[in-house]
């Protein structure tokens, strides 16, 4: 199974369309959205091609492929227009006998890791900074932001395939990678 991770779309139809072109090229099985889908948030400028209504329409055309969690910019009205669940603070999926704890990052993050077992992964967005680390045998991963990268990082997404988590730029270049085989 191949999983494709994006975070922090913030209503940009332009960057969402670029990311979905890559999703199709990567031939991923599922699109995992780590929050902040429709709105730019009070701390951010308006993104390129800011159009939450268009973003809603585009995302709704991928309903059968999306697993999403709530970001700090999501609200109940977003769930009224999105045709897939998006209001959970976290989701847990199993991948090759590992738990993947999916969240936005404003509650659980590198500094507040939930109860996980050795070899499990915490995957979140929110910071807009790509991250791939093994902290005490817990993998801490962040694909960065497709719309508003921070700390001089590129527009990125994550891909998990055959136990390798790769963070790639929207033009397909590997930015960071980590092997999720546990090193005990």
Give the tens place of pLDDT for each residue, 100-137.
999 999 999 999 999 999 999 999 999 999 999 999 99
- pLDDT attached to residue 21: 98
Gap between the Cα atoms of 61 and 112, Å rounded: 34
Six token digits for residue 66: 């999306």
- For the chain, which residues make up each domain, given as ranges? 2-179
- pLDDT attached to residue 184: 47
pLDDT in tens, 33-86: 999 999 988 888 889 999 999 999 999 999 999 999 999 999 999 999 999 999
* CATH no. of 2-179: 3.60.21.10
Could you tell me if 101 and 122 are in contact, meaning their C-beta atoms sit under 8 angstroms apart? yes
pLDDT band at 183 (very low <50, low <70, confident <90, very high): low
Gap between the Cα atoms of 113 and 138, Å rounded: 9
- Orientation angle between helical segments 52-60 and 13-26, nearest 10 degrees: 20
Gap between the Cα atoms of 43 and 137, Å rounded: 34
């Amino acid at each position: 199974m191949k999983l494709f991770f994006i975070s922090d779309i913030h209503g940009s139809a332009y960057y969402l369309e670029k990311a979905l072109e890559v999703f199709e090229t990567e031939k991923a099985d599922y699109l995992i959205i780590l929050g902040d889908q429709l709105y730019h948030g009070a701390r951010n400028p308006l993104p390129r091609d800011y159009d939450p209504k268009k973003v809603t329409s585009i995302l709704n055309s991928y309903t059968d492929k999306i697993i999403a969690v709530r970001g700090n910019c999501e609200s109940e009205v977003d769930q009224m227009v999105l045709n897939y669940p998006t209001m959970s603070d976290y989701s847990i999926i199993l991948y090759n006998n590992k738990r993947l704890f999916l969240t936005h990052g404003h509650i659980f993050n590198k500094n507040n890791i939930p109860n996980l077992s050795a070899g499990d992964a915490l995957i979140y967005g929110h910071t807009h900074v790509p991250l791939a680390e093994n902290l005490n045998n817990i993998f801490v991963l962040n694909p960065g932001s497709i719309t508003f990268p921070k700390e001089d990082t590129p527009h990125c997404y994550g891909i998990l395939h055959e136990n390798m988590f790769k963070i790639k730029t929207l033009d397909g270049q590997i930015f960071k990678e980590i092997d999720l085989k546990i090193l005990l």
